[in-house]
Amino acid sequence: MKVKKFLSAHGKQIFSLIYPLFSLAIIVALWAITAAYTGNDLLVPSIGSTMDGLGDLLGKSGTYIDIAATLLRALRGFALSFAVALLLSVAAAFVSLLAKLLAPVIAVMRSTPTMSVILLCLLWMNNDTQAAPVFVTVLIIFPLLYSAFYTAIAGVDKKLVEMAKVYGVPFFTRITKLYVPSVLPAAFSAVRSTLSLTVKLTIAAEVLAQTKNSMGVNMQLANLYLDTPVLIAWTLIAIVLGALLEILVFVLEKICTRWKNA
Residue in 37, 229, 88, 199 with CA at minimum distance from that of residue 134:
199
Q: Give 211's pLDDT tier (boundaries 50, 70, 90).
A: confident
The whole-number pLDDT of residue 6 equals 47
Options 1.20.20.10, 1.10.3720.10, 3.40.1180.10, 3.40.50.300; which CATH number does 50-261 get? 1.10.3720.10
Mean pLDDT confidence for 183-192: 85
Percent of the chain residues past pLDDT 70, beyond the cut? 86
Q: Which tens digit of pLDDT belongs to each residue from 41-61?
A: 888 888 889 999 999 999 999
The whole-number pLDDT of residue 7 equals 46
Mean pLDDT confidence for 108-132: 80
- Interatomic CA distance for residues 113 and 90, integer angstroms: 27
The whole-number pLDDT of residue 260 equals 54
Mean pLDDT confidence for 169-184: 74
Contact 148, 81 (CB under 8 A): no
Judge whether residue 258 has pLDDT over 50.
yes
Judge whether residue 128 has pLDDT over 70.
no
Q: Which tens digit of pLDDT belongs to each residue from 4-38?
A: 554 455 555 665 667 777 788 888 888 889 888 88
Domain residues of the chain, as ranges? 50-261
Q: Which tens digit of pLDDT belongs to each residue from 229-253?
A: 999 999 999 999 998 998 888 888 8
